[in-house]
Structure 1
Amino acid sequence: MAVTIKDVAKEANVSPSTVSRVLADNPKISDETKDRVNKAVIKLKYYPNAIARSLAHNSTKILGLIIPGEAENFDKNFFFIKLMTGISVASRDRDYNIMYSFGNNEKDELTCIKKFTNSKLVDGIILLTSRNDDKCIKYLKDISYPFVVVGRPEQSEEVTWVDNDNSDAMYRVVKSFIKKGRRKIAFIGGPKDLNVSIDRFEGFKNAMIDNYMEIKDQWVINSAAFDETEGYRAMLKILEYNTPDAVITTDDLLAIGVLNAIKRCEIEDKISIVGFNNTPMAVYQSPSLSSVEINAYDLGYNASKLLLDQLSNNKANKHSHYIVRATLIERESSK
């Protein structure tokens, strides 16, 4: 039979209501009483009923995490694994749990959010994508529900968010290619409506313009998804026009698709390639893939931390943001 709060109260020689206050860390309870109750909890291996505690304290101690559909392919997309690890560690440190939900598109994600918010299942929500005219962000703002976004939102001053400086990271990658004498540089991005795609292309464009380099429309492609197949198709389309001497992609999976395409054409020694996210697969490619380390763990950890600060009524952190440093890791594909 499960241990109850009454069993703990009896063991500690206090009332059940006192046990409840100790578990809630009520400052009015003496240290001596807290110590006695906590020892009884450990001795009896008592676990508070999460549902009962949520009713009593108007808090579920759960965060809702909305995962984009492409993240379901966990065997390849290590970005989301690192991100969720950071989220989980920060949440655990504050005694919170995570509830996951997948959405294959923006409409699905919004449906998941409404289920979370209408049922009061979670105290706050973490979004892993940010779009132009983002309906999920608008909905959460309209109902004043606590949330944080991994990715720069369109109206960043009104939302709590975490991201890299994607424009600057891409700018630095282009500059590194130009310093090595690359002049014909192609760009393969992800879905156009994602702000990460917009920001990274902005960095590419600014670096090319600042260094008096020509941007060829035929060498700029936005893919429908961040995967190998899209990268492969995009590279073949670029090669129909001409052969660049460098290709920058906005994701390692796209870059791996590019590598496969140029191997098929037997020109891998003529084109330098860089991806983003520095996934574990990058080092095992042939040639090994250069990639931008975006520190996904830190993105997740700080997203969770900012949301939990919101929930603890830390007004100083409301509508704040945190920028995580990105670093180019050079390997064989860009030398």
Structure 2
Amino acid sequence: MSVTIKDVARRAGVSPSTVSRVISKHPRISKETAERVTRVMEELGYHPNSMAKGLVSKATYILGVILPRPAEELFQNYFFHEVLRGILAQANRSGYDLLIASGSSESDELETVKRLVRGRRVDGIILLSSKTKDPLIHFLNEVGFPFVIIGRSPDFPDAPTVDNDNVQAAYDATRHLINQGHERIGFVSGPQELTVSQDRLTGYRQAMLEAGLSISEDWIVEGEFLQETGYRAMSMLMNLPERPTALVVIDDIVAFGVLHGLNELGYSVPQDMCLVGFNNISLSEHTSPPLTSVDIGTYQIGYMTAQTLIKTISKEPLHQTRKIIPHRLIVRGSSVK
């Protein structure tokens, strides 16, 4: 005969409703009671029926994760791998599964989110990126569905977000190159509709202007978060009459493309060009030369995002809707001669 919730309650000396609250991680259940009930469940081999639990609470115990477009970036950029690892760790710890979705176009992406929300297929949604006038954020805010953004929303400044201070991070990266004696510093950016691209470009400009250095718009190249962007940027920048001597690059993967392009053109790093990237992915210290990079705490971003969403779903008060993960500059050979 299978073990029931009443068997667990009887052995633990609590009511069946208390067992149910322990299973659903109710915040008002004491730590001592939760540990005792959990121990008894393990001893008796009791496993909650997630379907039945969902019918009672009208919850799916699934978090939706919306991939940015183009979705193929996810498989080429280690940032997303690490963010998802952090999300998954917190989700599993809290008894949630993940449903990952995307769309081939903006309208398709919006329809996907609407289908998830209206079909109650998830309890909340994580947006892995944010941009200005984002229809996904507008829809989720309008219907009052729990969501958290990685990044920030200019249109909804009070929306729950987890982010870095990207303006300060890019300022610090640029300032590092200025301190190395560079005056002609370029910037390889991501798509300008993304707030992360806007903020890092702002930080770069602030550092340059504060140092009294001029900025040539020819030194700013926009692209996707792909190696191809960095590779293409080199064919443009290195053919300028007055080329930059250092670059702030929006992402380490893009910086790998920069390294490849410079190598093909016969230039050396850091002798001919100094580089600073972002994300400090594991491969960055193994490039030749090792890549200086801004560590933005990618795993922590994912973990904190899932934690914030689960609190929002549970209607727990958020002490602050915008959470900032600290960054630090990891100096390696690509930026120091």
- Give the TM-score of the pair, scaled to structure 1: 0.88
1:149 deviates by 0.2
* Counterpart pick for 1:277 among 273, 276, 279: 279
Q: Distance in 2 between matches of 1:96 and 1:178?
A: 46
1:178 deviates by 0.9
1:265 deviates by 1.3
1:333 deviates by 0.7
Q: Distance in 2 between matches of 1:11 and 1:286?
A: 59
Distance 1:185 1:23, change over 3 A: same
Q: Distance in 1 between matches of 2:209 and 2:129?
A: 28
Provide the residue aligned with 1:111 in structure 2. 111
Distance 1:217 1:137, change over 3 A: same
1:330 deviates by 1.1
Would you say 1:197 and 2:194 are equivalent positions?
no
Distance 1:284 1:40, change over 3 A: closer
Would you say 1:55 and 2:55 are equivalent positions?
yes
Q: Distance in 1 between matches of 2:316 and 2:185?
A: 46
Alignment of 1:44-193 (within 5 A): 44-70=44-70, 72=72, 76-193=76-193
Q: 1:107-143 CA deviation, whole Å, 9 max, x = no partner?
A: 3332221121011111111111100101100000010
1:146 deviates by 0.7
1:36 deviates by 9.1
Would you say 1:229 and 2:228 are equivalent positions?
yes
* Counterpart pick for 1:22 among 15, 19, 36: 19
1:166 deviates by 0.4
Provide the residue aligned with 1:241 in structure 2. 240
Amino acid at match of 1:116: L
Distance 1:45 1:212, change over 3 A: same
Asked if 2 retains the 8 angstrom alpha-carbon contact of 1:68 and 1:105, the reply is no
Comparing 72-81 with 141-150, greater Cα deviation is found at 72-81
Comparing 60-69 with 183-192, greater Cα deviation is found at 60-69
* Aligned-residue identity in percent: 34
Distance 1:47 1:202, change over 3 A: same
Asked if 2 retains the 8 angstrom alpha-carbon contact of 1:19 and 1:37, the reply is no
Provide the residue aligned with 2:314 in structure 1. 312
Asked if 2 retains the 8 angstrom alpha-carbon contact of 1:188 and 1:221, the reply is yes
Distance 1:46 1:252, change over 3 A: same
Q: Distance in 1 between matches of 2:327 and 2:32?
A: 49
Gaps of 5+ in 1: none
1:164 deviates by 0.4
Amino acid at match of 2:301: L
1:32 deviates by 12
Asked if 2 retains the 8 angstrom alpha-carbon contact of 1:9 and 1:37, the reply is no
Alignment of 1:263-302 (within 5 A): 263-268=263-268, 269-302=271-304
Asked if 2 retains the 8 angstrom alpha-carbon contact of 1:129 and 1:150, the reply is yes
Distance 1:192 1:31, change over 3 A: closer
Distance 1:249 1:37, change over 3 A: closer
Aligned residues: CA RMSD: 2.9
Q: Distance in 2 between matches of 1:278 and 1:229?
A: 19
Asked if 2 retains the 8 angstrom alpha-carbon contact of 1:71 and 1:77, the reply is no
Amino acid at match of 1:322: K
Asked if 2 retains the 8 angstrom alpha-carbon contact of 1:188 and 1:249, the reply is yes
1:34 deviates by 8.7
1:85 deviates by 1.8
Asked if 2 retains the 8 angstrom alpha-carbon contact of 1:182 and 1:245, the reply is yes
Q: Distance in 1 between matches of 2:138 and 2:174?
A: 34
Amino acid at match of 1:135: P
Distance 1:283 1:4, change over 3 A: same
Q: Distance in 1 between matches of 2:113 and 2:264?
A: 43
- Residue 46 of structure 2 aligns to a residue whose secondary structure is coil
1:73 deviates by 5.3
